Amino acid sequence: MTKTDEVKRVAQDIKLMRIRGAGKIARAAAEALLTTAQQSKAKSSLSLMKEVETAAKLLLDTRPTAVSLQNSIRRIVNETRIANNRNIKVEKMRQCIVETSTKFIQDSLSAIERIGVIGAGRIEDDDLIMTHCNSATATKVLSTAFANGKHFKVFASETRPRLQGRITAKTLSNLGIPTSLIVDSAIRFFMTKMNKVIVGADAVASNGAVVNKIGTSLMALAAHEARVPFFVTAETYKFSPETVLGQLVKIEERDSSEIILEKELLKMPNVSVRNPAFDVTPPEYIDLIITEKGIIPPQAAIMIIQEEFGSITAEKLEY
């Protein structure tokens, strides 16, 4: 397989959700850029940079809401450009891309571990905890707490239309964590019994709003009404620098076939399907965001962005 085929395959896997979950998507993109550099036959650093930029473009177009994907690609492309400006030889640039990608992947995996440890401290014996969709970081908090000997039960919402909640339920079940699988419309019914909610994030905006799987904001609303603490787990590379400049996180809308078969839809000529994959939970409904750098109130999101990206300018975010 050529390197272009490999990048196309990864892009397709992300688009079709064979690779899914914001962290995994970002690591897969970093891995694809690493492979691009390793397999490149470019004779100059300029042509290697161009190859990386072409691959980056292909990967970026796959899932617009995952800010983790944009941030991982930006980090690697920016380092490549800096290397190019230093007029270094192609071999040195290749090494730089491999090192930056590898570091991103390692940092991402250790961030999840760290969030697991920090978040587990917030779980108490006999807790009833609700979660939505399938988040590696939220699951890590639960598995770490369980491994530490905490006894609690999880309510996992099914998460229509792609049913990622079943993946969560299966993972928790395999770990031995007692789990109830519920339909999304039962979220409010059970919420009054819960001690906390823990969900993941695809993006965190500078005002502390969290973008996550469609239905998260309804869960947050139900939690707010029932006075149940609402926790979000998010690695710092999910924080969106663009939102500092007033840009909104783009919400991906997916195909109608995820909701209804095309032949069924054809029988309803006046019906169109809307299928947004994510929604926005306002900071007022979020108690804490658990990052690898510690726990913050949503209002402190801007500080994380400043720490990660420095002062934000439009040029800096170009790639």
Catalytic residues: 133, 202
- Contact window for ligand RUB (CB under 6 A) among 14-22, 168-176, 255-263, 307-315: 14-22
Give the contacts of 231 (CB within 8 A, at least 6 positions apart): 119, 122, 196, 197, 198, 199, 286, 287, 288, 289, 290
Closest contact distance (angstroms) between CB of 34 and ligand RUB is 19
Please select the residue that binds ligand RUB; options are 77, 141, 154, 277, rule is CB under 6 A. 277
- Contact window for ligand RUB (CB under 6 A) among 77-85, 199-207, 289-297, 308-316: 199-207
Indicate the DSSP class of residue 125: T
- Which amino acid appears at position 221 of this protein? L
Specify the residue, 97 or 201, whose C-beta has the smaller distance to ligand RUB: 201
Please select the residue that binds ligand RUB; options are 212, 217, 236, 291, rule is CB under 6 A. 212
- Contact window for ligand RUB (CB under 6 A) among 50-58, 69-77, 96-104, 194-202: 194-202
Say whether residue 243 binds ligand RUB (CB under 6 A). no
Indicate the DSSP class of residue 115: H
Closest contact distance (angstroms) between CB of 196 and ligand RUB is 16
Say whether residue 23 binds ligand RUB (CB under 6 A). yes
Distance CA 128, CA 223 (A): 13
Please select the residue that binds ligand RUB; options are 28, 133, 304, 305, rule is CB under 6 A. 133
Specify the residue, 36 or 139, whose C-beta has the smaller distance to ligand RUB: 139
Say whether residue 137 binds ligand RUB (CB under 6 A). yes
**Pairing of the two strands 127-131 and 196-199:** parallel
Say whether residue 72 binds ligand RUB (CB under 6 A). no
- Contact window for ligand RUB (CB under 6 A) among 4-12, 128-136, 187-195, 304-312: 128-136
Which segments within 76-226 are labelled E, that is strand? 127-131, 152-157, 179-182, 196-199, 203-204, 210-213
Strand order in the sheet with 210-213: 203-204, 210-213, 278-281
Closest contact distance (angstroms) between CB of 137 and ligand RUB is 4
Distance CA 11, CA 83 (A): 25
Indicate the DSSP class of residue 44: S
Residue 134 backbone zone (phi > 0: left; psi -120 to 50: alpha; other: beta): beta
Please give the residue ranges that form the binding site for ligand RUB (CB under 6 A): 20-24, 133, 135-137, 164, 200-202, 212-213, 277
